[in-house]
């Protein structure tokens, strides 16, 4: 029997005196689309970085203590074969003055370092994946001139160029308008259908989680709930994670 895409067992992370994650356990089967929701400071980005093998904290946080176990396709995160995992970061912190072209950003995902020259085959591959996400016309545009939605398409193309089995997204719809957000989810679902990929996405949009995810993880340092959206996005679970749940999300909560 094939290993799950992600296995997390009793995983805890402490930065100095701050407990970022506490005894998190869950499994994500291959082909799932999991939306991760929770309040600010709930450990969502910490968990995503752990799956990338990047969780170390910083000197100002104090010493990092990590316990528990994570496996990605049966491997420790740092031993996952190259190209198996794609990552789309939050782009709101990106330095838009950086003098780069969209196609250079995409090719950097193929090489895993910055391309000072782009070969013919690299250009072909980058153009092909840009076309798949509806962004081929952006190839020669500078990043500083792109809208939030256009920039997200470029980053999505960068993450997909190696055809990853697992795609990790940190707030992919941040700064994207309604049309751009719809396009983003359409491209994600098309890639998942084509490749059978697993998607794990951090989002603050409960309605997006309800409509696009096959499972939802509600996290507040611990696992508050994990399962089908219709079961996990309930008043009890969300109130436990967020405290008071306001009227803005009555649609998700079924008016309860």
Q: What is the pLDDT of residues 128-140, one digit of tens each?
A: 999 989 899 999 9
> 77 φ, ψ to 5°?
-50, -40
pLDDT above 50 for 209: yes
What domains are there in the chain, each with its CATH number?
Answer: 1-84+164-246 (3.40.50.300), 89-162 (no CATH)
Averaged pLDDT, 99-107: 91
The pTM assigned to this predicted structure is: 0.87
> 229 φ, ψ to 5°?
-55, -40
Nearest to 67 by CA among 121, 21, 4: 21
pLDDT above 80 for 2: no
Contact criterion met (CB below 8 Å) for 11 and 68: yes
Q: DSSP letter for 98, please.
A: S
How confident is the model at residue 251, as a pLDDT? Answer: 44
Averaged pLDDT, 208-218: 95
pLDDT above 60 for 56: yes
Torsion of CA 231, 246, 176, 219, to 10 degrees: -50
Rounded to a whole number, what is the distance in angstroms from the first to the last CA of the chain? 41
Percentage of the residues of the chain whose pLDDT score is greater than 90:
62
pLDDT above 90 for 113: no
pLDDT above 80 for 245: no
How confident is the model at residue 117, as a pLDDT? Answer: 85
């Amino acid at each position: 029997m094939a290993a799950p895409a992600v296995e997390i067992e009793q995983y805890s992370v402490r930065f100095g005196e701050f407990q970022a994650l506490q005894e998190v356990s869950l499994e994500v089967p291959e082909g799932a689309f999991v939306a991760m929701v929770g309040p600010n400071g709930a450990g969502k980005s910490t968990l995503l970085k752990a799956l990338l093998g990047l969780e170390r904290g910083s000197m100002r946080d104090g010493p990092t203590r990590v316990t528990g176990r994570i496996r990605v396709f049966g491997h420790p995160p740092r031993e996952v074969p190259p190209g198996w995992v794609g990552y789309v970061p939050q782009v709101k912190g990106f330095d838009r003055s950086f003098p780069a072209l969209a196609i250079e950003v995409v090719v950097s995902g193929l090489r895993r370092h910055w391309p000072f020259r782009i070969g013919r085959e690299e250009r072909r591959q980058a153009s092909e994946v840009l076309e798949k996400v509806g962004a081929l016309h952006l190839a020669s545009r500078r990043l500083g001139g792109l809208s939030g939605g256009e920039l997200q398409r470029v980053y999505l193309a960068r993450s997909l160029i190696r055809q990853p089995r697992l795609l990790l997204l940190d707030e992919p719809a941040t700064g994207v308008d309604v049309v751009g957000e719809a396009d983003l989810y359409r491209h994600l679902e098309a890639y998942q259908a084509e490749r059978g990929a697993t998607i794990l996405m951090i989002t603050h949009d409960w309605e997006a989680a309800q409509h696009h995810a096959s499972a939802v993880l509600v996290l507040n340092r611990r696992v508050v709930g994990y399962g089908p959206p219709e079961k996990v996005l309930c008043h009890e679970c969300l109130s436990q994670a967020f405290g008071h749940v306001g009227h803005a999300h009555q649609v998700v909560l079924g008016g309860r």
